[in-house]
Every structure is written in structure tokens, then in C-alpha cells.
Amino acid sequence: MLEPLIQNNVVCHALEAMIFASIACSILGVIISRMNLSSIGFTMSHAAFAGAAIGMFLERNAQVAAVVFSMAVAALIGPVSDKAKMAADATLGVLFAMSMAVAIFLISYMEYMGKGLSASALLFGDVISLYREEIYALAAVCCLTIVFVLAFYKEVSAIMFNMKIAEAAGVRVKLVYYMLLFIVALSVALSLNIVGGLLIFVLLVTPASIANQFCFNLKSMFIAAPLVALSVSAIGVWAGFEFTLPIVPLVALLLTGVFALSVMLSFKRRISKKRY
Amino acid sequence: MSVIDLLGIYTAYEGGDKPVIKDLSLSVDRGEYVVIGGPNSAGKTTLLESINGLVKITHGSATVCGLDVARFADTVRTRVGYVIQNFYFDPFTPFTVEQVVMMGRFGRLGLMNRPARADYDAVQRAIALVGIEDLAHKSIGTLSGGQQQKAMIAHNIAKEPEVMMLDEPFSNLDFHAREYLQGVLKELVRTGIPILMVAHAFDGLPDIRIRLVVMNGGKITYDRDCTAGEVDGIIRKECKVNGKC
């Protein structure tokens, strides 16, 4: 998509992937951070990790298996929380442990059987060796995220405000919440190859936290978070290639730096010194 | 036909060894002002949440606005206003009072439909009725507890409900605000909307016919009409008779 502007294919693909992953994850990040569901990032990333391990174990496409397993875990979060009367965060913890156990079990077993499995790409990501199809899939999930937020903006804003009040108002809370979980699962599973399971958290939480320091309303947060993520990712990709640095950790560090700066400069925290 | 018709309902929470509400029957007609009192854990909040389907009814039947609550809980909730008991909005909540009041109409708007002119007008009317015009554009998280409570009452009035239920709605309000909002509720009753209000403090009740329902141990122990001045005394007496106060 950016080929006419960037001659180098590797740089071009890395930039495109980071842009799509940044936009999708940061928009979803605004929702999940407000709902105190930030741990969904590592649960989903480890579910995708376990799915990839299952795919490799069954000698099937690891990416497809990662998406399928993440969706299965996403489908469990809501009903398990409801049935067990647990906070979604506790359910996420249980599913995170289960996913990690499945992944470690299969990786160890495959090593024992003499079938090596390199987990480093899934854990740390590899933004410079991507297939076109992976970028198209990310672009699609990025569009899906934007369409979801635009189409269900009022329902999403109501459940972000207060789930019980939204439910009492007659909003179809469960339906929208389950759809949200599915989209998060899809985004995380598809971003896993790029940013890795360990750093996906940065794209989900940090841009939303930066936007929260300055934005007074939800609409501006939905605009500011992806803009911040996109700008920092683009700078990270450029600096990574220019100075031969690992791109994703660089983006993570840059975003954390911007967050620290935003906390210091946030006018939302300013205390009025007026005496009248 | 009554707006609310509960017939022998039982409600239990998962893990609880006893039902919270036991064999309770209650009919509420249009224009009734029902005050629900009783000791803690009498089942007052559970009763309200059984009426709008937030809590599952295990036995018996509940019909609200002509709809079976067990089958049409989502639709019932779009037609029943419910001011919940406890809420806290942190200072970083990214919603203004006006936006929160508009959320009251989201259920009746249906999935994916955008608010129209009529919805914005209903929101403005609700804000004006509750007297919080000056707070409309302020972030709800920056308001005091009492102001947030007023905003939540406006949120439910904007819904244009057929029944209004309030769970200790005046706990954070000063006497003047209580009197003012009781006047607002009196106006709703005058238009035919039945009010069901759970309360522990009864000062400032409006000077209209009040139906007092006293609950104890998940059952109704008293259900008669009275005047505003009699409410407190009757509840004290009923609690004493039933050994709880």
C-alpha cells in the first residue's frame, strides 16, 4: 500500500504492519483500559501463543491456529465470568495460566520428540519478515475495529461508563461485550507475529493511557490514542532501520517515554491556585 | 391491568442457601407512589432488580408493562427506569453529564441506531426537570456525590420510563435537594408513572397518597396506604414487631 512512497519493501512492510497493529490495538486499548480489562492483552497474546504451538504440533498453519485458539479463549471469558461469578480480570488470569500451560507443555513435548519449535518470533515478534497476507489480514482487522467502534459507539460508550447502569438502561451489554472480546482476540492474534506476545501490551495500554492524560471526552480519546500510536510506531520503524535497532522494543520504549512525559505535562492533573 | 404484577416470586443468588425473596406477590398500578422500607437484607434491592430482570426469578411469574420479565428482560429494562444504589465515577471518567443522561435512552434506541432530535430534546427536558442545567457540560467524575445522584435521576427520566424505581436515591442529597427531587417524582406520578422507591430516610416525602410496603426476610409484612408523616413511625413499629430494626 505504501510502496509508491517507500522503495524498500522490507521497510514498507514493517511500516504498514506497525501502522495497522497500532491503530487496531490502540483503539481497543481505549475501551479495555477504561473497563479495567488491560490483562486481556497478555491473556490473548498467550492464547495466540498456545494456539500457534498447537498448530505447529498438529503440523498445521500456526497463524490460523493462533487465531482459532484465541477466539476460543475469547468465547470463554464472558460465559466463564458470568457462570463463576468472578470478575473478568480473574477469569483472564485463569485463562492466561491455562494458555501458557498448553504452550509450554507442547513446546517441551515437541523438544522431547525432537521437533524443535522456535518460540522467540511469537514472544518477541518479527516485524521485518512478514508476508503480504499477514499485512492484509492486519489491515482487515484494523478496518473491522474501526467499523465496530463506529457502529456500536453508543453501546461501547455505555458499557465503558458503567456496565450495570448500561444493562439497567436496556443496552445489550453481553452481546457488545462478547463482540469486543472477539475483536480483541483477533487483533492480538494477528499482531502477535509483528510485535510479539510480550510487547502487545504496550500497543494496547500505553497509547490509551497517554490519551487519557489529555482528553476530556471519549471521542477525542478514540482519535488521540491511534494518532499517538501511529506516530510513535512510524518514528520507531524509521529509527530502527536508520540506526539498525530492534524496532518493536524501540517503539515500546518510545511509547513509554511519551507516557512519562504526558503524565508530567497533563493539564488534567493541574490544581487550581485561584483564591476566588 | 397493573403495570407491575408479581405473583408468588422467589429469587435466590448463586451459592446462597436460602431464597432472598420468598413467595412475594405485588401489584402496582399507574400513578402509585410506593415507598419500600424495612431493615437491611430484607430483600428490597433484590425486589427492584427482580422487577427489571437484573436478578433471575426462580419461581413464580413477573409481568411488567405487559411483558413477561423472564422472556423479555432486555425490553422491560428499556421501559423501566432504575436509579441504582451505589455508584462511583472517578475524576477521569470521560463523559459529561449530558452524555450520561443521553445513555438512559440507548436501550430504547436499539442496537446501532443514533440518537435523533427527539432524543436530544428528551435529554434537555430531563436535565431541566432535575435542575442541573449548569452541570450539563461538566465531566460527571468531577461532580460531588449528590450532583452525580441528580445526574443519574435525570439519566432515568430521559428514558421516559413507564415505571420508575429508585434505590436510596437521596442518600447523598441535602434536605432542599431531596424536597426538590421529591417534587419531580410527584410530577411523574401525576402523569401516571408509578414510582417504587427504596429508602431509609423519609423526610421530605411529598404530600400525596403513599403506598407503604415494608419488607422483612424476603417477604412483604405490611402493605397499606398512608400519609408522608406516618411512614417513619409505621416502619419503626413494623421492624420492632418483626424483631429487627
In this complex, do B115 and A221 lie within 8 Å of one another by their Cβ atoms?
no
Of B114, B115, B159, the CB nearest to A169: B159
Q: Note whether residue A243 is domain-resident.
A: yes
* Separation of alpha carbons B140 and B132, rounded Å: 12
What is the C-alpha to C-alpha distance for residues B188 and B131, in angstroms, rounded to an integer? Answer: 15
When CB atoms are compared, the residue of A169, A217, A221 closest to B103 is A169
B48-59 pLDDT, tens per residue?
A: 999 999 998 999
CATH number at residue B41: 3.40.50.300
Q: Is residue A2 part of a domain?
A: no
Who contacts A12 (Cβ-Cβ below 8 Å, separation ≥6)? A2, A3, A5, A6
Determine whether the interchain pair A157/B114 forms a contact, defined as Cβ–Cβ distance below 8 Å: no
**Hey, are the CB atoms on A85 and B96 less than 8 Å from each other?**
no
The residues, ordered by sequence, that sit 6+ positions from B205 with a Cβ below 8 Å of its Cβ are B35, B182, B228, B231
Task: Check residue A86 and give its pLDDT.
Answer: 72
What pLDDT does residue A239 have?
A: 93
Q: pLDDT (tens digit, 9 = 90+) per residue, A114-168?
A: 776 666 666 667 777 777 888 888 899 899 999 999 999 999 999 999 999 999 9
Q: For residue A154, is it within any domain?
A: yes
Whether A117 is in a domain gets the answer yes
Of A34, A162, A167, the CB nearest to B87: A162
Judge whether A260 lies within some domain. yes
- Establish if A274 belongs to a structural domain: no
- Residue B198's DSSP bridge partners are B36, B167
CA distance readout (Å), B56 to A121, A262, B20, B38, B144: 47, 46, 11, 22, 33
Tell me which chain A residue has its CA closest to the CA of residue B91. Answer: A268
Cell numbers linked to A27: 483503539
Domain residues for the domain of B8 are 4-241
CA-wise closest residue to A99 among A131, A118, A73: A73
Q: What is the pLDDT of residues B78-111, one digit of tens each?
A: 999 999 988 888 888 899 999 999 999 999 998 8
Chain B hits for A162, Cβ within 8 Å: 87, 89
Answer yes or no: are the C-beta atoms of A180 and A27 closer than 8 Å.
no
Q: Please report which residue ranges of chain B form alpha helices under DSSP H.
A: 44-51, 73-79, 97-103, 106-109, 117-130, 145-158, 175-190, 231-241
Q: Which of B89, B108, B152 has the CB atom closest to A170's CB atom?
A: B108
Tell me the CATH number at A18: 1.10.3470.10
- pLDDT the model gives residue B229: 84
Contact A216 B139 (CB under 8 A): yes
In a domain, A15, yes or no: yes
Q: CB contact, 8 Å: A151 with chain B?
A: yes
Mean pLDDT along residues A77-100: 78
* CA–CA separation, A10 and A261 (whole Å): 31
Residues of B within 8 A of A154 (CB-CB) are 103, 106, 109, 114-115
pLDDT of residue A118: 62
* Closest residue, chain B, to A220 (C-alpha): B94
Its domain, for residue A88, covers 9-266
Q: Which phi and psi angles does A129 have, rounded to 5°?
A: -130, 70
In a domain, A114, yes or no: yes
Please answer whether residues A179 and A185 qualify as being in contact, where contact means their C-beta atoms are separated by less than 8 angstroms.
Answer: no
| Inter-chain touch A165–B15, beta carbons under 8 Å | no
| Parallel/antiparallel/unpaired status of strands B57-64 and B33-37 | unpaired
pLDDT at B33 over 80: yes
Cα–Cα distance measured from residue A198 to residue A103, given in angstroms and rounded to the nearest whole number: 14
How sure is the predictor about B14, in pLDDT bands with cuts at 50, 70 and 90?
Answer: low
Cβ <8 Å between B95 and A152: no
Helix (H) / strand (E) containing A239: helix A218-242
Q: How many angstroms separate the CA atoms of B28 and B232, rounded?
A: 21
| Total domains in the fold of chain A | 1
Amino acid B29: pLDDT: 93
Structural domains of chain B, count: 1
ipTM: 0.89
- SS3 state at B91: coil
